[in-house]
Amino acid sequence: MTPYIYQNYRLYIRAAIENAKRSGADLNYSRLAKSIGVQKSYLSQVLAGKCHLNSDQLFKAAMTLKLTTDECEFLVLLLELEKTSIVERRELLQGKRDELSKHRQAS
């Protein structure tokens, strides 16, 4: 399951967990929360858009979801895009996101 079609790291994590549950994998929200070192309630708040994971937690989540290094970096880019308040940086990150999405989807 590729993260490159997502513009929000939270949506990708939600979809990846639901996909894992449907396919019978031994992964759920509780296990993901434990693997990244947060309470399940905090992960629920993150996925509801009330707060963010930090980049280390997102890295651990990506490893738990067995993403490649490039896919992990893409999720971190999505995190940074959501967190930035600087317009010029947002535009730069959006450009990188769009370029990576287009390139990876074409591959």
pLDDT at 16: 96
Distance from C-alpha of 21 to C-alpha of 30, rounded to nearest angstrom: 12
pLDDT at 107: 60
pLDDT at 103: 78
CATH code assigned at 21: 1.10.260.40
pLDDT at 88: 97
Domain that holds residue 29: 6-106
Give the end-to-end CA distance of the chain in Å, rounded to a whole number: 14
Tell me if 1 is assigned to some domain.
no
pLDDT at 77: 96
Residues of the chain with pLDDT under 50: none
- Overall number of domains in the chain: 1
3-state class (DSSP) for residue 72:
helix
pLDDT in tens, 84-94: 999 999 999 99
